[in-house]
Amino acid sequence: MSNINNNMKTQTSDSLHNAIMEAGSKDRTPMLAPGNYIQWKSRIKRYIDTKPNRELIHFCFETYKNVPQEIRDQLNAKAEAVQIILIRIDNDIYSIVNACPNACEMWKVIERLKQ
């Protein structure tokens, strides 16, 4: 009986995990789950292929290691600023500022919304 319960829990867990992974897959990048890198990598590449600037995105992934450290530091700081903002805002605000090209523009939109 215990094996049946464990199998059902595993199947339910797997189904729930797959549903979460698929949720919003057209609008958001797929989530990376433990032990699922190969599938995630394939899905990320397909997701990137749906974007209008897909060539530039692929180029960035492929050439990032060849970019001088000073420029990488600037790019990383810009990305971190965006993440800091996105991590601590409500979903309603997120859906508005997610289209902003950078942290500065996000900040301006949030200020306008909250004044």
In this predicted model, what pLDDT tens digit does every residue of 88-114 receive, in sequence order? Answer: 888 888 888 988 989 999 999 999 998
Distance separating alpha carbons of residues 79 and 7, to the nearest angstrom: 41
In this predicted model, what pLDDT tens digit does every residue of 41-92 receive, in sequence order? Answer: 888 888 888 888 888 888 888 887 788 889 888 988 999 999 999 888 888 8
Distance separating alpha carbons of residues 2 and 25, to the nearest angstrom: 35
> Which pLDDT score is estimated for 81?
93
> Which pLDDT score is estimated for 88?
86
| pTM: predicted TM-score of the whole model, two decimal places | 0.49
70 or 11: which leads in pLDDT = 70
Domain range list for the chain: 1-66, 68-115
Q: How confident is the model at residue 23 (pLDDT cuts 50, 70, 90)?
A: low
31 or 43: which leads in pLDDT = 43
- The C-alpha R_g of the chain, in whole angstroms, comes to 19
Average pLDDT over every residue of 25-47: 79
The answer to whether the beta carbons of residues 110 and 85 sit under 8 Å apart is: yes
